[in-house]
Amino acid sequence: MPSATLARELRTIRKSFRQLASAFSRIAPALAKQTIASISDNGSGRRSPRLTAKHRAALKLQGRYMGTLRGLKPRQRVKVKRIRAAKGIRAAIAAARRMGV
């Protein structure tokens, strides 16, 4: 491609970018208002719920349980799940740790 043609194409591209920039700057205020309204309407701007200490502890215990199950074989997992149903999550975690070691 000759340099004159290349220069002409680059000028055309530059001009197109300037036009796009000016068009976006003209519609930016309308887009900002619309975006703010849509966030407040559809609930996507919802804040996360506050966790109580009890709930946070329960989530931590659940994570520990799931982490111990992760390293077990399928039959061992079934045993641990039965223990959890019968004796509770703490006993299940202890049993899973014994099986995993």
Q: What tens digit of pLDDT does each residue of 14-38 get? A: 999 999 999 888 888 877 776 665 5
58 and 96 part of one domain = yes
Give how many domains the chain has, as a whole number: 2
Please indicate, yes or no, whether the overall pTM of this predicted structure exceeds 0.75.
no
Check: CB of residue 58 under 8 Å from CB of residue 30: no
- 9 with 38, same domain: the answer is yes
Range of the domain at 57: 53-100
In this model, does residue 43 exceed pLDDT 60?
A: no
Residues 63 and 82 in one domain: yes
The angle, 0 to 180 degrees and rounded to 10, between the axes of the packed helices 53-70 and 74-87 is 150
Claim to verify: residue 3 and residue 39 sit in the same structural domain: yes
